[in-house]
Amino acid sequence: MTDTTGDTNDQRLAVDFCGLQFATPLVLLSGCVGFGEEYTRVDGFSNRDVGAVCLKGTTLAPRLGNNPHRVAETPSGMLNAIGLQNPGTQHVIDTILPSLDFSETRFIANVSGSTVEEYTEVTRRFDDSPIDAIEVNISCPNVKEGGVAFGNDPDMSARVVEACRAVTGKPLITKLSPNQTDIADNARRCIAAGTDAFAVINTLMGMAVDIESRTPVIGNNQGGLSGPAIKPVALLKVHQVYQVCREHGIPIIGQGGICTAQDALEFIIAGASAVGIGTALFYDPLVCRTINHGIGDYLDRHGLASVSALTGSLALNSPDSACQGG
């Protein structure tokens, strides 16, 4: 198999995502790699190992974020409530983007806000920048206003997407929340409003308790749960959103607990065109190389010429009844 690391890429791993060529289907998720430079300090890591890097959530004005503790390990997962700490949109555009090597990979801005107007202005500013695409974070569980309400309300979700669509010609990726009644209906509304793609899913809401002090471990009381614990939920949500997307040719970045090549392949088979890597990076910064090799090995075993041929190839069983209980 062709080496999938560094400057030598297995061309079978390349995917077309909204007209952007990704060298591999792997995307480093927002909030996990800072503004694209953090993991380049790790010996052996290269941004060339991934198709795209999603930058940290960015608001119009700088934010200090939430009080500590902001991160807590849980069984098979991690809670975080960073609170969108960031230096503000203009600093990212003027200072951080010029420092990134756009020849290595694609870079995606993550737009966050507490009002429709803020989402719109941040998107407008990123439109006039070298960024390759814009992810609209309508479902951030880490702030007390804005994202949570927008992401869980199809009407608000559509309003934000429509407003952002009006001020950018760049590919627009809408990040969907699992903390809502009908994620497929929300996806339909966002497609009608002009989104080009989806990121599915954002974190689930969770809590951890310190039994000695009888207080929440997280300073924000609650936070976003990520890691292997949420993978089955994320897989189902990708499958549900894919049923809506496939008729419109809308691609999905599937994410939620992906740690291995098998995990990545499951998401692709369920309907994802690309897959997001996040929590796994915290304990294995070089996991992307392992996943790339594993996907290549799978393509070898099954005689497939492209990873894209696997997207949405899931063959469903015929259930005996609608009852899912024991």
- pTM score: 0.94
Output the CA torsion sign for 93, 96, 98, 101: negative
Task: Choose the catalytic residue: 140, 164, 245, 259.
Answer: 140
In tens, the pLDDT along 113-128 reads 988 999 999 999 999 9
pLDDT for residue 319: 79
Please tell me the distance from the alpha carbon of residue 134 to that of residue 132, in angstroms, as a whole number. 7
What average pLDDT does the segment 51-74 reach?
Answer: 96
Tokens of 302: 């099954």
The one-letter code for the residue type at 266 is E
Annotated catalytic residue 140:
yes
| All structural domains of the chain | 11-310 (3.20.20.70)
Mean residue pLDDT across the chain: 92
pLDDT for residue 36: 87
Closest CA to 122 of 56, 182, 178, 70: 56
Q: How does residue 321 score in pLDDT terms, banded at 50, 70 and 90?
A: low
What average pLDDT does the segment 250-269 reach?
Answer: 98
The one-letter code for the residue type at 287 is V
Q: How does residue 33 score in pLDDT terms, banded at 50, 70 and 90?
A: very high
Tokens of 290: 């392992």
Q: How does residue 142 score in pLDDT terms, banded at 50, 70 and 90?
A: very low
Please tell me the distance from the alpha carbon of residue 185 to that of residue 67, in angstroms, as a whole number. 35
Answer yes or no: is pLDDT of 144 > 90.
Answer: no
